[in-house]
Amino acid sequence: MPANSQKPIQEFLKALSSSVEAKFGDSVDFVLLFGSAARGEWKRGISDVDLIIQVADEKYVEEVKGYVDSIFWVLDLKCNTGLREACSTGNSEDRVKRLISKTKLYVPYEVFGPGDIDWEGAQIKRKDLALGAKLVASQAMLFKKMKVEGKILYGRDIREVIQVDASFWERMKALLVPYTMALLSSVAALFVPKTALKLADKAALYSIESALFFMDLPVGMGIEKATEEWNRELKHESELRLNLFNFMEIDSVFSFDYRKLVHFDFAREAIELKYNWAEKSPDFGRWGTLKFCLTSLLFVNSMNWYAILRRWGVAA
């Protein structure tokens, strides 16, 4: 990505963190950035921003949140970052975005008290988020990404204490999140095509790292490097066979190349759309958007099945 394309979000983040520091000082424990802005892949109008602000004492949560609420969208306009277009909290008239905001997708920041997150255990403890985190979001993948790609904008470096031990359920949730996003985009395509197109694109790109995480491969390195990792994976010469078929001695009947499940050419199309949104998105009419959303759903599904079979397969 060109360096100047990151300038608006860099200016925004510097202004926000400096304002928080000047206002609250040591009352704020740290400000952590992760996601596309931390990786240098932020794209105006389509990329959101992911910030965690942790205060030193529970009594400061509402005060800090109120202050950030008061300056966030002002700085968005001042720095011309277009976050109102990308974040679910930025457009209350969009019904799909209101629904997404309930799941905390595209929500740009959260303010936490000192006991709301178990950083060493990689678990969210705050009551309003804990149930959803346990049942829906992959906490293990989230904390892994924060540890690898995260940047500290102010305060102590919390990344040092994060320990991630991903259970089977945590890995499965990593696959379910992009699938749900792609499914929702397919339904929304006929009603709010622009929002659906963004959601489908995000689902496709999210699934690349989700599948890598499921297979115990590196995450948090950015979409380009993640794509290179997948290309290396798919070019591997060995065929994969399920252990079950091996010990049942019917391997020759059920053996096939699982790489054929993955329609990876679509990944490049999704990346091109993200990085050239202003130029390419107007080319998608209502039916073109629906086609893209359905293709994204197929792509995510194929990635998920490959990851599952790959994790429990053995090299020929």
pLDDT of amino acid 262: 66
Three-point CA angle 115, 120, 122, nearest 5°: 85
Q: Is 91 exposed, middle or buried (0-12, 13-18, 19+ CB in 10 A)?
A: middle
Give the pairing type, strands 50-55 and 109-112: parallel
Nearest-angstrom CA–CA distance, 20 and 71: 10
DSSP 115: T
Whether the pTM exceeds 0.85: the reply is no
Mean pLDDT per segment of 10 residues, for the chain of length 316 residues?
Answer: 82 98 97 94 87 97 97 96 76 48 65 96 92 87 95 97 93 95 95 93 93 90 84 60 43 47 80 89 94 94 88 57
pLDDT of amino acid 249: 44
pLDDT of amino acid 176: 95
pLDDT of amino acid 246: 45
